[in-house]
Amino acid sequence: MIRSPALRWTLNVVTLLLAFLMIFPVLWMVLTSFKTETMAIAFPPQLFFTPTVENWVQSVFNGPLLEFMGNTALITVGSTLLAILLGVPAAYAMAFYRTERSDGSMLWMMSTRMLPPAGVIVPLFVLFRNFNLLDTHLGLIIVFAGMNLPLVVWMVTGFMEDLPFALIEAARLDGANLWQEFTSVLLPLLGPGLAATSLLALIFTWNEFFFAVNLTTRDASPLSVYVSTFKSAYGDLFLAKMSAAATAAVLPVLIAGWVAQRHLVTGLTMGAVK
Amino acid sequence: MASSQPTPPAATTSAPAPKRRVGERRKFLSAPAIVFLIAVTQVPFAMTIWYSFTNWNLLRPTSTGFLGWDGMWRNFSRILSNPDFWTILWNTLFLTGSVVVLSFVFGMMFALLLNRPFPGRAIARTMLISPFLVMPVAAAIVWKFLLLDPSNGLSAWVFRSVLGIQSVYLVEVAPMLSIIGIVSWQWIPFVMLILLAGLQSLPNEIVEAAQLDGAGPLRMFVNITLPHLRRFIEIALLLEVIFVLSVFGQIFVVTSGGPGIQTTNLPYQIYLEAFSSFNIGRASAYGIFAIILANVAMILFLQVVRRHRLEGTS
């Protein structure tokens, strides 16, 4: 489109420069996590220094962070599994046995994903109190499964619709029942799609804060709640240690997001853009 | 309407009779998911409305009364006659509107820049989506302490060494703008990704035909790219409105809604009413406003999706 090579190269450089600026806060955080505390507050800020892993040892591996990360991992895996367990059969029905109501159901599911958390937090809190779910892993697993279920249904429905139905018919002619049809034909083909869906669910669950901070106090609190405690007087950490903890909290999702880049748009737009 | 015509599944054409019977049962495979979603999302939703009729306060166990329209009237008239409410509502709308505008401008710019083959494009794309992936409370911590802190943050160096002026604590001087900046930083990639998907779905033939007709870059953008992007823009912005209306973590960490109520939005106010004042009735009444705002954007979004399905482009 742009003919002049000089202009083209300028644009390329500008693009890379702007991209660097956008990711800079993240890079700065990672860099600070390898500084000593004195280096972290040095003026002017230092770009070159002898890196230390002291902060990582102290605030990530010896601190309470791993415990919170364990909570996050448990809640993330649990809620994703529950959402997949409920969502994949629903996607199967939506993809292969559409009725007049399928479209309506799908739109309704989308709409539940768009409910403002603040609009349902009070009853959830009261219900959790009555069912002894406050500050439990199970409680957050249920809420996050509800959050990710629409995502699973619309993503997996899309993946299933892309499969040739002839494969399923062939399995049926061989006398496969629903379970066999699912495990021997669908599951192997859906593997990559399910992996991408799980990664997206991981991104949303891992970063969630509103439900987490209001429905847990300490025992089941995920990483996001722990990170938020740095807000007052840096928690009990200083800049460099805080950066190490924040980096550890952010890294898994960054990697998941980079891996699942291709599916990010479908997942984010509820399948409205593929 | 697409939903009023039964859409025959790809398979009914090949083997109608047995499939129909199997389908009678298998279409119910979606029932567990639907029941679960009703329990987790619709029941609390209905309860919010119910609670807004009460004067229930968790600190006063006797005050669990359902007061009917009187209770609702009391909750809502107290909210509406409180000048703070209008500030909070304005904060919510101003924050959301500003983030949407900023992220649209920059998101469009980045999408256009990325929509050209060039060496390093994949890396640029990966770098550009990263802010969206960062845990919001961690992003808030990084901005608050590593970047904007008036003595230890990087901004101190920018103010003193680059600009040669006294260091300013932006969070104190312009709390709302700081929040808007941080949230926009996180949402620019969202808009960029969707618009980029839109740009890449623009058929090459159309672009080439327009070039043959001698259309310049600007005319091309206005007459061809923008109309094609319309649906993508609508989807990106409406979804963003829905999610940014619920921004909470960044406010919680950076300003705690302050100073005063300068950066308090509806979710933060609901959090305060419910978990500091334990006023269930009033928190629920505020919740109704949050739901109304989100629903306006949601109804528009679902219309876009429906229209798009009708056009048969899916």
Same domain, A53 and A75: no
* pLDDT (tens digit per residue) in A192-232: 889 888 888 888 899 999 999 999 988 899 999 999 988 88
Q: Is A273 within a domain?
A: no
pLDDT at B288: 87
Residue B91 CA to residue B179 CA, distance in Å, equals 11
Q: How many Cβ contacts (< 8 angstroms) between chains A and B? A: 345
Task: Check whether A103 has a pLDDT greater than 90.
Answer: no
Q: What are the φ/ψ torsions at residue B259 (nearest 5 degrees)?
A: -65, 145
Same domain, A20 and A90: no
pLDDT at A15: 94
Q: Tell me the CA distances in angstroms from B141 to A157, A256, B103, B250, one per residue in order.
A: 38, 21, 21, 8
91-130 in chain B: CB under 8 A from chain A: 110, 113-114, 116, 118-121, 123-130
pLDDT at B27: 72
Q: Does A134 touch chain B (CB under 8 A)?
A: no
Closest CA to B11 of A61, A82, A81, A172: A172
> Percentage of chain B surpassing pLDDT 70?
87
Same domain, A102 and A154: yes
Å between A121 CA and nearest CA of chain B: 8
Range of the domain at B225: 86-278
* pLDDT (tens digit per residue) in B200-254: 888 888 888 888 888 788 888 888 889 889 889 988 998 899 899 999 999 999 9
Task: Check whether B4 has a pLDDT greater than 60.
Answer: no
With H, G, I as helix, E, B as strand and everything else as coil, classify residue A63. coil
Q: Is A274 within a domain?
A: no
Q: What residues of B are in contact with residue A99 (Cβ under 8 Å)?
A: 6, 27
pLDDT at B1: 35
Residue A51 CA to residue A49 CA, distance in Å, equals 6
Same domain, A171 and A263: yes
Same domain, A148 and A36: no
Model confidence at B6, in pLDDT bands (50, 70, 90)? very low
pLDDT at B47: 86
Q: Is A229 within a domain?
A: yes
Q: Is B255 within a domain?
A: yes
Q: Is B30 within a domain?
A: no
pLDDT at A26: 96
Q: Do B29 and A120 touch (CB under 8 A)?
A: no
* pLDDT (tens digit per residue) in A230-241: 888 654 558 888
CATH number, domain with residue A79: 1.10.3720.10
Same domain, A25 and A125: no
* pLDDT (tens digit per residue) in B128-178: 999 999 999 999 999 998 898 888 888 888 888 888 888 888 888 999 999
DSSP code of residue B3? G
Task: Check whether A177 has a pLDDT greater than 50.
Answer: yes
Q: Is B64 within a domain?
A: no
Q: Is A82 within a domain?
A: yes
Residue B247 CA to residue B187 CA, distance in Å, equals 11
Task: Check whether A71 has a pLDDT greater than 70.
Answer: yes
Q: Which amino acid is at A129?
A: R
Q: How many CB atoms lie within 10 A of CB B139?
A: 28
Q: Do A268 and B129 touch (CB under 8 A)?
A: no
Same domain, A84 and A28: no
Q: Do B116 and A1 touch (CB under 8 A)?
A: yes
Helix and strand numbers (H, E) in chain B are: 16, 0
pLDDT at B63: 58
Q: Does B36 touch chain A (CB under 8 A)?
A: yes
Separation of CA A40 from chain center? 30
Q: How many domains does chain B have?
A: 1
> Percentage of chain B surpassing pLDDT 90?
35
The whole-number average pLDDT for the span A102-106 is 82
Q: Do B11 and A234 touch (CB under 8 A)?
A: no
Mean of the per-residue pLDDT values of chain B: 84
Range of the domain at A144: 64-268
Mean of the per-residue pLDDT values of chain A: 87
pLDDT at B66: 65
Model confidence at B12, in pLDDT bands (50, 70, 90)? very low
Same domain, A143 and A234: yes
Q: Is B260 within a domain?
A: yes
Q: What are the φ/ψ torsions at residue B225 (nearest 5 degrees)?
A: -65, -50
Q: How many domains does chain A have?
A: 2
Instruction: List alpha helices for chain A, DSSP H.
Output: 5-32, 37-40, 54-55, 65-96, 102-113, 117-130, 137-161, 165-173, 178-180, 187-207, 210-215, 223-228, 239-259, 261-268
Q: How many CB atoms lie within 10 A of CB B295?
A: 16
Task: Check whether A20 has a pLDDT greater than 90.
Answer: yes
* Highest mean pLDDT pick, A34-43, A178-187, B184-193: B184-193
Same domain, A48 and A158: no
Residue A87 CA to residue A112 CA, distance in Å, equals 14
Q: How many CB atoms lie within 10 A of CB A166?
A: 11
Residue A117 CA to residue A95 CA, distance in Å, equals 29
Q: Is B24 within a domain?
A: no
Task: Check whether B17 has a pLDDT greater than 80.
Answer: no
CATH number, domain with residue B207: 1.10.3720.10
Long-range CB contacts (< 8 A, 24+ apart) of A40-46?
A40/A238, A40/A239, A40/A240, A40/A243, A40/B152, A41/A239, A41/B151, A41/B152, A43/B156, A43/B157, A44/B157, A44/B161, A45/B154, A45/B157
Q: Residue A224, CB half-sphere, CA atoms under 13 Å: how many?
A: 31
* pLDDT (tens digit per residue) in B50-61: 887 777 777 666
Model confidence at B16, in pLDDT bands (50, 70, 90)? very low
Q: Where do we find the tokens 């898994």?
A: A252
Model confidence at A37, in pLDDT bands (50, 70, 90)? confident
pLDDT at B311: 67
Task: Check whether A178 has a pLDDT greater than 90.
Answer: no
Separation of CA B262 from chain center? 21
Model confidence at B8, in pLDDT bands (50, 70, 90)? very low
Q: Calculate the CA dihedral of residues B181, B103, B161, A230 and round it to 10 degrees.
A: 40
CB-based contacts of A154, cutoff 8 Å, min separation 6: A91, A106, A109, A110, A270, A271
Q: Is A96 within a domain?
A: yes
